[in-house]
Chains A and B, each alone.
Chain A
Amino acid sequence: MRSVSGHRGDLESLGSVIRIVLQRLALGLLTLLIVSAVIFGAVNLLPGDFAQAVLGQSATPEAVAAIRTQLGLDQPLPVRYAGWLWDAARGDLGVSFAQANFASFTGRVDPSATVLAQIAPRFANTMFLAGVTAAIAVPLAVGLGILAALWRDTPFDKGANIATLSSISSPEFFVAYILILLLAVVNPVLPSLSNIFPGMSFGERLERTLLPALTLTLVVTAHMMRMTRAAILNLMAQPYIEMARLKGMRPLRVILRHALPNALAPIVNVVALNLAYLVTGVVVVEVVFVYPGIGQLFVDSVKLRDIPVVQACCLIFAAAYILLNLTADILSIVSNPRLRHPK
């Protein structure tokens, strides 16, 4: 990990950044590989297998054996894992149990029965929800965090502390139902159910996404705001801040000109980490608002024991989580000179 000694030109430091980033990327890929093995292994702990699950209770041993051979279930575990991984990498995530039951009567696999066909539109919806949330939450959290740092130890700061701590500690569905009660039932401003379908205009879609997005915003903003405040306050004891203050600079200007640029790295890190948290948060919120996203599909499949869909959703969530954590890691390396030149 030690960078080459001698003079450190810009080119060399750029090279070391690229090397570290590549290292992190490789590490992330390795993590994803191991995680996929864990997911595959966990599912294969199941008693019985796919063939029995598809054919149900009344299956004859011959039919089960035939399907097992056809699907390759009689092969050893590592071979099946490699096959599954190869298919998943090419976008083929298998056939949903719930859909395959219907398909088995017609004798051929319906293209809409594949896991991919079920997941793809819902994945886009979830991304839309996460995008709207991030667009509201990130500026709000950073702005409020700066204000809390500026007005620290005032009633505003103390009130914000209590409010954010309460918002972090509340379950998502509590926040969601309070918002439904206030904004959809008592004052009918927004729709309480987010029934989104293809071919909707952007404005209409946004309106129906707003309530779940607001719920997620409330949960995520609190955390981001506390971290932004802490990151800025961490710097306020630095000599150069003292200098700027003694020079007679106004407090807001001290924060915006001197503290914020240096606090940017931790703040960007926090934003990426909270987007990773959003990945988990969407599950409950989508269920509350019946939002047709991937989280709802996941929960439904868990209840139906639709293993291929559960497996695929789990892989997607884990991949998004790892990717966002990786982004946070890389951004903090790129923006921090001390990490760029590890000793």
Chain B
Amino acid sequence: MSIWLWIVTALAVIAALARAGLWAARRLSGDAPRFRDMSYGEALGYALALAAIIGGVWLWMKPGAVYFRWAVMGFAICAVAAYLFRLAGRHIGPAGLKRQFRRMPLTAAFGILVIILYAIVAIFAGWIAPHGQEAVLGAANIVPGGDPAMGGDPAFPLGTDRIGRDILSRLIYGAQNTVGLAFATTLLAFFLGGALGLLAAVVGGWLDQLLSRGVDVLMAIPSLIFALLLLTIASVWADGARGLMTLYMVLIIAVIDSTRVFRLARAVGIGIVVMDYVEAAKLRGEGMGHLVFREILPNAMAPLLAEFGLRFCFVFLTIASLSFLGVGIQPPLADWGTMVRDLAQFINFAAFAPMVALAPLLPALAIAVLTVGVNFVVDWMLHRSSGLKS
């Protein structure tokens, strides 16, 4: 409980300091407009920011705070990388692309950089990874960091897991398996939900009612819970065949997530169906395929693309969660969610060797960085297309 006392005391001191500082600044500057018109809230904000900076520096100096230093360095590296990437984008490439980069916030640049890097790693995993994803190498439980004094091995920079598989290689293959499967699932969900949604919008009537009410029912069940229920049933069907289980998981999540896509596609489609050019196409006697693919789909592309990014994040997090719970992507495929679960025990030894905690945190971080990156890009796209200022 003494921690809470500390926090409350510190906050009270900061609040008092802000009051005193504001008063002093007004006196010393002879009531300069800058300070005379400053509200107490603004002064409190400055005081809090100052306290945060001082606290940060103090933590940085403290020898025990390894993770804080790593976090700050990681953040700085990300920011610098995003800045350099944006700088490069502003000066290299075709004019249209340059203009895009000119107005891009740093967060969006970071997101695009992350997506490109992950795509490269996923596609070329076989060439980049030093070992195979299923290869069981000699020594088990090697500590990350490659420092022999701490129980590491330079040949395995991120160490090995409990049965002696190289964690770095499995991380790289995880990009292929986890991200690849999530991407395939999202594509499937989009084909299913998008096609049915646009169809419901074009045909209308009883088909629209039937599909919409069906989707309503499916959406009334929380998606992770429903996925777990269906996976139980699928596991009885697959009866131990692991490849089949992974396939069923992809299908189940695609169906569950297609309901959300259906909603959006139908809503967007209904807005377009009443347009004059669609009416004209109908009067020309065009078929259903032409109506959906040539008239409606091109005009529904922008909102669907933004939705694709968000949907990918959801699907990716769902697959990672299911794998973490042990019912998603099945071993021996390397996958980030499963890796977190398998390596979680290492975290208990972090007090002795800080590097050990990296083993379970890195795959989790890999998941988080990708979803954060995609979200930043989608945020920027939505912000730009809505033309609003928040």
Name A residues whose Cβ lies closer than 8 Å to a Cβ of B: 31-32, 34-35, 38-39, 42-43, 45-48, 150-152, 154-156, 162, 165-166, 168-174, 177-178, 180-182, 185-186, 189, 192, 230, 233, 250-252, 276, 279-280, 283-284, 287-288, 298-299, 301-303, 305, 307, 310-311, 313-314, 317-318, 321-322, 325
Those of B1-32 within 8 Å (CB) of chain A? 3
- With contacts A166-B368, A314-B221 taken as known, whether A307 is within 8 angstroms of B232 at the C-beta atoms is yes
State the CA gap A301–B368 with chains docked (Å): 28
Q: Please state if B364 and A38 are interface contacts (CB–CB under 8 Å).
A: no
Contacts A/B (CB < 8 Å), 25 sampled: A46-B236, A47-B237, A48-B236, A156-B45, A165-B372, A165-B379, A166-B368, A169-B371, A169-B374, A171-B337, A171-B371, A174-B368, A189-B3, A251-B39, A284-B321, A287-B325, A288-B344, A299-B228, A299-B326, A302-B229, A302-B325, A302-B327, A317-B225, A318-B221, A321-B221
Whether a CB of chain A sits under 8 angstroms from the CB of B101 is no
Contact with A181, one of B230, B350, B368, B374 (Cβ below 8 angstroms): B350
Most buried by B among A32, A47, A303: A303
- With contacts A42-B230, A186-B351, A284-B325 taken as known, whether A318 is within 8 angstroms of B220 at the C-beta atoms is yes
Interface string of B94-120 (1 = CB under 8 A from A): 000000000000010000000000000
Find the A residue at minimum CB distance from B376: A165
Interface SS, B side? helix
Find the B residue at minimum CB distance from A170: B368
State the CA gap A169–B49 with chains docked (Å): 25
Q: Which residues of B contact A280 (CB under 8 A)?
A: 222-225
Q: Please state if B232 and A31 are interface contacts (CB–CB under 8 Å).
A: no
- With contacts A45-B233, A180-B347 taken as known, whether A151 is within 8 angstroms of B361 at the C-beta atoms is no
Interface SS, A side? helix
Q: Please state if B351 and A305 are interface contacts (CB–CB under 8 Å).
A: no
Find the A residue at minimum CB distance from B223: A280
Whether a CB of chain A sits under 8 angstroms from the CB of B390 is yes
A331 to chain B, nearest CB (A): 18
Q: Which residues of B contact A171 (CB under 8 A)?
A: 317, 320-321, 324, 337, 364, 367-368, 371
Q: Please state if A314 and B229 are interface contacts (CB–CB under 8 Å).
A: yes
Q: Which residues of B contact A318 (CB under 8 A)?
A: 220-222, 225
Q: Which residues of B contact A156 (CB under 8 A)?
A: 45, 49
Q: Please state if A283 and B225 are interface contacts (CB–CB under 8 Å).
A: yes
Q: Please state if A322 and B220 are interface contacts (CB–CB under 8 Å).
A: yes
Q: Please state if B360 and A177 are interface contacts (CB–CB under 8 Å).
A: yes
State the CA gap A299–B236 with chains docked (Å): 15
Q: Please state if B232 and A302 are interface contacts (CB–CB under 8 Å).
A: yes
Whether a CB of chain A sits under 8 angstroms from the CB of B231 is yes
- With contacts A45-B233, A303-B327, A305-B235 taken as known, whether A185 is within 8 angstroms of B348 at the C-beta atoms is yes
Find the A residue at minimum CB distance from B360: A177
- With contacts A170-B372, A174-B364, A302-B327 taken as known, whether A181 is within 8 angstroms of B225 at the C-beta atoms is no
State the CA gap A38–B256 with chains docked (Å): 13
Q: Please state if B364 and A302 are interface contacts (CB–CB under 8 Å).
A: no
State the CA gap A233–B389 with chains docked (Å): 11
State the CA gap A46–B321 with chains docked (Å): 25
State the CA gap A86–B64 with chains docked (Å): 60
Q: Please state if A310 and B232 are interface contacts (CB–CB under 8 Å).
A: yes
A48-B236, A151-B45 known, 6 other contacts, Cβ within 8 Å = A168-B375, A172-B321, A174-B365, A177-B340, A177-B347, A303-B326
Find the B residue at minimum CB distance from A182: B67
Q: Which residues of A contact B379 (CB under 8 A)?
A: 165
State the CA gap A34–B351 with chains docked (Å): 52
State the CA gap A192–B345 with chains docked (Å): 12
State the CA gap A314–B218 with chains docked (Å): 13
Contact with B372, one of A166, A182, A192, A301 (Cβ below 8 angstroms): A166
Whether a CB of chain A sits under 8 angstroms from the CB of B143 is no
A148 to chain B, nearest CB (A): 10
Q: Which residues of A contact B313 (CB under 8 A)?
A: 169
Q: Please state if B364 and A43 are interface contacts (CB–CB under 8 Å).
A: no
Q: Which residues of A contact B325 (CB under 8 A)?
A: 283-284, 287, 299, 302
- With contacts A165-B375, A170-B372 taken as known, whether A34 is within 8 angstroms of B217 at the C-beta atoms is yes
Q: Which residues of B contact A302 (CB under 8 A)?
A: 228-229, 231-232, 235, 325, 327
State the CA gap A46–B317 with chains docked (Å): 28
State the CA gap A302–B229 with chains docked (Å): 7
A278 to chain B, nearest CB (A): 10
A297 to chain B, nearest CB (A): 12
Q: Which residues of A contact B350 (CB under 8 A)?
A: 181, 185-186
Q: Which residues of B contact A303 (CB under 8 A)?
A: 326-327
Whether a CB of chain A sits under 8 angstroms from the CB of B83 is no
Q: Please state if B324 and A321 are interface contacts (CB–CB under 8 Å).
A: no
Those of B31-73 within 8 Å (CB) of chain A? 39, 41, 45, 49, 64, 67
Find the B residue at minimum CB distance from A156: B45
A284 to chain B, nearest CB (A): 5
State the CA gap A196–B371 with chains docked (Å): 34
Q: Please state if A181 and B357 are interface contacts (CB–CB under 8 Å).
A: yes
Whether a CB of chain A sits under 8 angstroms from the CB of B226 is yes
State the CA gap A39–B364 with chains docked (Å): 32
Contact with A38, one of B217, B317, B348, B367 (Cβ below 8 angstroms): B217
Q: Please state if B225 and A314 are interface contacts (CB–CB under 8 Å).
A: yes
Find the B residue at minimum CB distance from A183: B3
A227 to chain B, nearest CB (A): 13
Q: Please state if B217 and A35 are interface contacts (CB–CB under 8 Å).
A: yes
State the CA gap A151–B38 with chains docked (Å): 13
Q: Please state if B222 and A317 are interface contacts (CB–CB under 8 Å).
A: yes
Find the B residue at minimum CB distance from A230: B390
State the CA gap A238–B257 with chains docked (Å): 37
Find the B residue at minimum CB distance from A318: B221
Q: Which residues of A contact B224 (CB under 8 A)?
A: 280, 283
